[in-house]
Amino acid sequence: MPHFVPRFLRLTATLLVALTSVAEAAEQNDLASLLRIQAEVQKRLPQVRPSLVAIQTGGGTASGVIISSTGLILTAAHVVDKPGRDIRVVLDDGSVTTAKSLGLDQATDAALAQLKDRGKPWPSVNLSREVVKAQPGEWCFALGHPGGFDKARGAVLRVGKIVKQTANSLHTDCVLMGGDSGGPLFNLAGEVIGIHSQIWENRDQNVHVSMAPFLRSWEAMQASQVIKTWGVGAGGYLGVATRMSDAVELEVADVIDGSPAQKAGVRVGDVILGVNSDAMTDQQQFTATIKTKAAGDLVTLLLRTDGKERKVPVTLAQRPREGE
Amino acid sequence: MTNDEFRMTKEIRNPKPETSPRAPRWLFSSFAIRPSFVIRPFVLRHSLLALFSSAAFADSPRPTLPPEQRTNGKQTLVAVGKVAQPVLACSARIESLLGRPVCAATIVGIDGYILTKASEAPDLEKVRLKLTEGRTAELREIHRDVRFDLVLAQAVGLSKLRAANFGATRSLSHGQWLCSSSGASREPRIGIISANHRQIPGNGAALGIRMDEKAPKEAQGVRIIGIATDSPAEAAGLQAEDVILSIADEPVAQFKSVHEIVNKRQPGEYVEVRYLREGKEESCRVRLASRTKVIQNWEGEDFANGGISLRTDGFPDALQHDIPLAPSDMGGPLATLDGKIVGINIARVDRVTTFALPVESFWTEIQQWINADRHPPKAQAAE
């Protein structure tokens, strides 16, 4: 009766899985692990706190974080609004200085500002370059000046978990409010993983810009030594809409008039097989691939048109502004 | 478009610089979507929420964290199951005689002494104490203190209660885990010390109205020209164009006298407001709130989830923490994870702030009140 054996084995396997997951859950939820998180946060806080700043513009009060000893500040685009703007900056100890806004990305709400030179290094923190590591379930902590700078109160700390990761953002249950915008979200290593951006009604709906939009433009900034205003939009602009065909292939559903794709001869119904040397199998993968490229980058699409494969080089453009 | 829809999403610069919230445009930044396809969230609330979760899911290598695994989710709270017992044991609820929740209470004596938030429970004859296991008791008011916003009372006929075991707050620092109980079912909630321990200056009470400085055409009273969002005036049903005739039986001749009358009172107090609406005289009861908060939250800027306390300031000393609590949880105990009660939650202030009175600030005095009540001075024999 050989069929009894697999049944028995299967049951055993299921039991083992169940036991393992119970044990894991118990370990994860152990009081000791909560206390370990507390110890990590308390160790990191004095290291990162001096790099938190309050930003005062004509329109209101917000936050930011210094990420280089030369005084580069990460903040939110809706805080600085436009490049070249003079902003008032209050440091953790209450001293006041000024900065100028640099580049910003209105689509993702990422922005940079540069502090005035003060003849000695600024306190700074590192940012996390491993964007994908900021996964749902990881513990994190937020700093900011909700309601504005208050010397007696000082910076306000919140500890929580990452709830969601999207292409350009993180959602956490670290509760934010007005004045926190532009402030830093840290991992337990004390690296910046997000910049506070928006809130929704529920307490668990706090949205931060992830490091992805910042890192995407990092190389260009480093190479030129001058931070330029970034192109509007998240990554380069191609101008095609896709769908999955009945044959479960990635198919061009629409080509936007005047877009780089149209100029390069991409047509509705083309099957997208690859981008540069990477094979493309689904829409998310394709979206993510194009998003990692900047305006001006040349990409080669491998397409199949009427049964024939062809390579189409396309130079990505800047995403048109809304309404243009 | 209703006001409610405007409050769907918000950039968190303070104060809000724009008249309408911007759509979280990054949701729609996928290159495949034409700009003209962008849907405004304040037009289509439910479809946005649907897009929101599906878009996030598609881009997310790990799925969205289920609510039970979040910081105050059931699975995370398993870790504090045992250590939360002391805080749950000494917390109780104050409810109306019809069973409506009013606020929380902290049991401070095994013979039924409790502390609760005075401004939330102005009249102890109209409320009762409800213990975790379901027993209820009438309350006898012993001492009401405006500085701490605490009232000491005794639950009539209850004994052998689990009283708070107070610890010290001196060693607490930013990031330290704390625990409180929330809601009628008294579930544990955790959070941390989130800001400096400090004095919270008071700035008096307010109705939440903007007044016309000119005398109204009716030649008496003061005309209202604006009402603050979620303010005492709004809750009582006052409207722009109403003409206030008197407050707490004091006639109001000019706008300054409104300030004078209101400033004599505490947040949480009721005042009777008589007013003219379309030539007809009417009246309502308004429950005053802290002026600072009414002004700061004039257009609902706080985005406070679950509302805020009526009195949010004027405390001699306060701990600030980020435990997700409701205004009706105020008056309950605050504990460390080693089970020591270190304070009493005293004000839900905004989306990120809750204040607690540290035990050192009030406990010596409260003990004197309890002792005086337990051992009243013997009546002098009549000569």
pLDDT tens digits, one per residue of A50-86: 999 999 987 789 999 999 999 999 999 889 888 888 9
Answer whether residue A293 shows pLDDT above 80: no
Q: How far is CA B358 from CA A159, B142, B199, B211, in A?
A: 21, 21, 11, 39
Q: Are residues B173 and B269 in the same domain?
A: no
pLDDT band at B206; cut points 50, 70, 90: very high
pLDDT top residue among A318 and B15: A318
Measured between beta carbons, the chain A residues lying within 8 angstroms of B38 are 322
Across A278-317, b (16+ Cβ under 10 Å) vs e yields eebeebeebbbbbbebbbeeebebbbeeeeeeeebebebb
Task: Supply the DSSP symbol for B160.
Answer: S
The predicted structure's pLDDT at residue B28: 25
| pLDDT above 90 as % of chain A | 50
Most B-contacting residue of A158, A209, A257 (CB-CB within 10 A), to test interface: A158
Please give the sequence-ordered ranges of beta strands (E in DSSP) within B97-183, or none if there are none.
Answer: 101-107, 113-117, 127-130, 136-145, 150-155, 177-182
Please give the residue of chain A at the shortest CA–CA distance from B58.
Answer: A284
Q: Are residues B102 and B28 in the same domain?
A: no
pLDDT top residue among B229 and B66: B66
Cβ of A136 and B60 within 8 Å? yes
pLDDT top residue among A227 and B338: B338
Say how far apart CA A198 and CA A234 lie, in whole Å.
17
pLDDT band at B220; cut points 50, 70, 90: confident
Distance from CA of B275 to the nearest CA of A (A): 35
Q: Are residues B341 and B196 in the same domain?
A: yes
Domain that holds residue A269: 240-315
The predicted structure's pLDDT at residue A318: 74
Q: Are residues B14 and B160 in the same domain?
A: no
Q: Are residues A178 and A196 in the same domain?
A: yes
Is residue A42 exposed (0-12), middle (13-18) or buried (19+ Cβ within 10 Å)? middle
Place of tokens 């996964």: A135
- How confident is the model over B153-173, as pLDDT tens digits? 999 999 999 999 999 888 899
The predicted structure's pLDDT at residue A173: 96
Give the DSSP H or E segment for A43. helix A31-48
Most B-contacting residue of A21, A28, A31, A108 (CB-CB within 10 A), to test interface: A31
Is residue B6 exposed (0-12), middle (13-18) or buried (19+ Cβ within 10 Å)? middle
- Mean pLDDT, residues A215-238 taken together: 49
Instruction: Name the domain count of chain A.
Output: 2
Q: Are residues B182 and B322 in the same domain?
A: yes
Cβ of A234 and B15 within 8 Å? no
Place of tokens 């701490």: B148
Residues of A numbered 116-145 whose beta carbons fall under 8 angstroms of chain B's beta carbons: which are they? 132, 135-137, 141
Distance from CA of B50 to the nearest CA of A (A): 14
Q: Are residues A226 and A119 in the same domain?
A: yes
The predicted structure's pLDDT at residue B195: 98
Residues of A numbered 5-24 whose beta carbons fall under 8 angstroms of chain B's beta carbons: which are they? none
Neighbours of A260 (CB within 10 A): 21
Answer whether residue B19 shows pLDDT above 50: no
- Dihedral through CA A180, CA A186, CA A191, CA A195, nearest 10? -40
pLDDT band at A13; cut points 50, 70, 90: very low
Say how far apart CA A319 and CA A232 lie, in whole Å.
6
Q: Are residues B367 and B321 in the same domain?
A: yes
Residue type, B239: Q
Domain that holds residue B21: 3-59
Q: Are residues B116 and B262 in the same domain?
A: no
Domain end (from A192, A215, A232) = A232
Task: Supply the DSSP symbol for A65.
Answer: E
Answer whether residue B37 shows pLDDT above 70: no
Q: Are residues A143 and A74 in the same domain?
A: yes
Answer whether residue B55 shows pLDDT above 50: no
Q: Are residues A225 and A303 in the same domain?
A: no
Does residue B306 belong to any structural domain of this protein?
no
CATH of the domain at A281: 2.30.42.10
Instruction: Name the domain count of chain B.
Output: 3
Answer whether residue B218 shows pLDDT above 70: no
The predicted structure's pLDDT at residue A59: 73
Both tokens assigned to B159: 């004994």
- Mean pLDDT, residues B291-311 taken together: 82
Does residue A8 belong to any structural domain of this protein?
no
Cβ pairs A/B, distance under 8 A: 244
Does residue A176 belong to any structural domain of this protein?
yes
pLDDT band at B98; cut points 50, 70, 90: very high
Cβ of A159 and B175 within 8 Å? yes
Domain end (from A232, A259, A290) = A232
| Nearest CB to B29; choose among A171, A202, A234 | A234
Q: Are residues B91 and B48 in the same domain?
A: no
Q: Are residues A42 and A131 in the same domain?
A: yes
Q: Are residues A205 and A282 in the same domain?
A: no
- Mean pLDDT, residues A239-250 taken together: 84
pLDDT band at B189; cut points 50, 70, 90: very high
Instruction: Report the complex ipTM.
Output: 0.81
Q: Are residues B92 and B53 in the same domain?
A: no
Q: Are residues B184 and B274 in the same domain?
A: no
Answer whether residue A6 shows pLDDT above 50: no
Q: How far is CA A110 from CA A214, A216, A232, in A?
A: 7, 11, 11
Answer whether residue B51 shows pLDDT above 90: no
Say how far apart CA B314 and CA B309 lie, in whole Å.
13
Answer whether residue A39 shows pLDDT above 70: yes
The predicted structure's pLDDT at residue A239: 86
Q: Sign of the C-alpha dihedral, residues B364, B365, B370, B375?
A: positive
Mean pLDDT: which of A210-224, B145-159, B249-263 is highest?
Answer: B145-159
Residues of A numbered 21-40 whose beta carbons fall under 8 angstroms of chain B's beta carbons: which are they? 25-26, 28-31, 33-35, 38
- Mean pLDDT, residues B351-355 taken together: 95
Does residue A137 belong to any structural domain of this protein?
yes
Q: Are residues B325 and B349 in the same domain?
A: yes
B39 touches chain A (CB under 8 A): no
- How confident is the model over A265-283, as pLDDT tens digits? 999 999 999 998 888 887 7
- How confident is the model over A129-148, as pLDDT tens digits? 888 899 999 999 999 999 89
Answer whether residue B232 shows pLDDT above 80: yes
The predicted structure's pLDDT at residue A284: 74
Cβ of A175 and B322 within 8 Å? yes
The predicted structure's pLDDT at residue A266: 93
Distance from CA of B302 to the nearest CA of A (A): 7
- Mean pLDDT, residues B211-216 taken together: 81
Q: Sign of the C-alpha dihedral, residues A14, A18, A21, A27?
A: negative
Cβ of B352 and A175 within 8 Å? yes
B168 touches chain A (CB under 8 A): no
Most A-contacting residue of B12, B52, B76, B313 (CB-CB within 10 A), to test interface: B12
Answer whether residue A151 shows pLDDT above 80: yes
Q: How far is CA B23 from CA A79, A173, B41, B109, B332, in A?
A: 16, 21, 6, 53, 39
Sorted by sequence, the CB contacts under 8 Å of residue B279 that are 6+ apart come out as none
Does residue B217 belong to any structural domain of this protein?
yes
CATH of the domain at B275: 2.30.42.10
Answer whether residue B287 shows pLDDT above 50: yes
Does residue A260 belong to any structural domain of this protein?
yes
Average pLDDT, chain B: 82
Both tokens assigned to B131: 């213990």
Q: Are residues B223 and B319 in the same domain?
A: no
The predicted structure's pLDDT at residue A140: 98
Q: Are residues A155 and A264 in the same domain?
A: no
B353 touches chain A (CB under 8 A): yes
Please give the residue of chain B at the shortest CA–CA distance from A110.
Answer: B26
B176 touches chain A (CB under 8 A): yes
Does residue B261 belong to any structural domain of this protein?
yes
A62 touches chain B (CB under 8 A): yes
Q: What pTM value is reported for the model?
A: 0.75
| Residue of A287, A294, A280, A140 whose CA lies nearest to A210 | A140
Say how far apart CA B286 and CA B261 lie, in whole Å.
13
Q: Sign of the C-alpha dihedral, residues A284, A285, A286, A287?
A: positive
Average pLDDT, chain A: 83
| Nearest CB to A29; choose among B9, B78, B302 | B78
Q: Are residues A175 and A288 in the same domain?
A: no
pLDDT top residue among A54 and B253: A54
The predicted structure's pLDDT at residue B53: 33
Answer whether residue B274 shows pLDDT above 90: yes
8 A C-beta contact, residue A145 and residue A180: yes
Mean pLDDT: which of A230-234, B117-121, B262-266 is highest?
Answer: B117-121
Please give the residue of chain A at the shortest CA–CA distance from B84.
Answer: A31
Q: Are residues A145 and A254 in the same domain?
A: no
pLDDT band at B49; cut points 50, 70, 90: very low
Does residue A3 belong to any structural domain of this protein?
no
| Nearest CB to B16; choose among A29, A178, A319 | A178
Cβ of A322 and B35 within 8 Å? yes
Residue A69 in 3-state DSSP? Answer: coil
- Mean pLDDT, residues A291-307 taken together: 84
CATH of the domain at B189: 2.40.10.120
Domain end (from A232, A260, A293) = A232
Does residue B73 belong to any structural domain of this protein?
no
Mean pLDDT: which of A59-63, B19-23, B125-129 is highest?
Answer: B125-129
pLDDT band at A218; cut points 50, 70, 90: low
Say how many CA atoms lie within 13 Å of B24 toward its Cβ. 29
The predicted structure's pLDDT at residue B366: 96
The predicted structure's pLDDT at residue A235: 60
Answer whether residue B353 shows pLDDT above 90: yes
Measured between beta carbons, the chain B residues lying within 8 angstroms of A291 are 31
Does residue B293 belong to any structural domain of this protein?
no
Does residue A28 belong to any structural domain of this protein?
no
Please give the sequence-ordered ranges of beta strands (E in DSSP) within chain A, or none if there are none.
Answer: 52-57, 60-66, 72-76, 86-91, 96-105, 110-115, 139-144, 156-165, 169-172, 184-186, 192-200, 206-210, 240-244, 250-255, 271-275, 278-279, 298-305, 308-315
CATH of the domain at A149: 2.40.10.120
The predicted structure's pLDDT at residue A21: 54
Domain end (from B237, B252, B287) = B287
The predicted structure's pLDDT at residue A116: 93
Residue B214 in 3-state DSSP? Answer: coil
Both tokens assigned to A303: 């397409």
Q: Are residues A294 and A228 in the same domain?
A: no
Residues of B numbered 236-295 whose beta carbons fall under 8 angstroms of chain A's beta carbons: which are they? none
DSSP string for residues in B314-352: -EEEEEEE-----GGGTTSEEEETTS-EEEEEEEE-SSS
Sorted by sequence, the CB contacts under 8 Å of residue B351 that are 6+ apart come out as A146, A175, A176, A177, A199, A203, B302, B303, B304, B305
Cβ of B11 and A198 within 8 Å? yes
Answer whether residue B204 shows pLDDT above 50: yes
Does residue B357 belong to any structural domain of this protein?
yes
Is residue A138 exposed (0-12), middle (13-18) or buried (19+ Cβ within 10 Å)? middle
| Residue of A198, A185, A193 whose CA lies nearest to A79 | A198
pLDDT band at B303; cut points 50, 70, 90: confident
Distance from CA of B293 to the nearest CA of A (A): 11
Q: Are residues A200 and A164 in the same domain?
A: yes
Cβ of A34 and B320 within 8 Å? no
Distance from CA of A321 to the nearest CA of B (A): 8
3-state secondary structure A207-262: EEEECHHHHHCHHHHHHHCCCCCCCCCCCCECCEEEEECCCCCEEEEEECCCCHHH
Cβ of B70 and A204 within 8 Å? yes
Does residue B77 belong to any structural domain of this protein?
no
Most B-contacting residue of A30, A162, A164, A283 (CB-CB within 10 A), to test interface: A164
pLDDT top residue among B132 and B245: B245
Answer whether residue B355 shows pLDDT above 50: yes
Distance from CA of A197 to the nearest CA of B (A): 6
Say how far apart CA B178 and CA B172 lie, in whole Å.
10
The predicted structure's pLDDT at residue A107: 74
Q: Which stretches within chain B are classed as H helix?
A: 3-6, 45-59, 74-77, 85-89, 232-236, 255-263, 291-296, 359-374
Q: Are residues A285 and A210 in the same domain?
A: no
Distance from CA of A69 to the nearest CA of B (A): 26
Does residue B230 belong to any structural domain of this protein?
yes
Does residue A26 belong to any structural domain of this protein?
no
B163 touches chain A (CB under 8 A): no
Does residue A215 belong to any structural domain of this protein?
yes
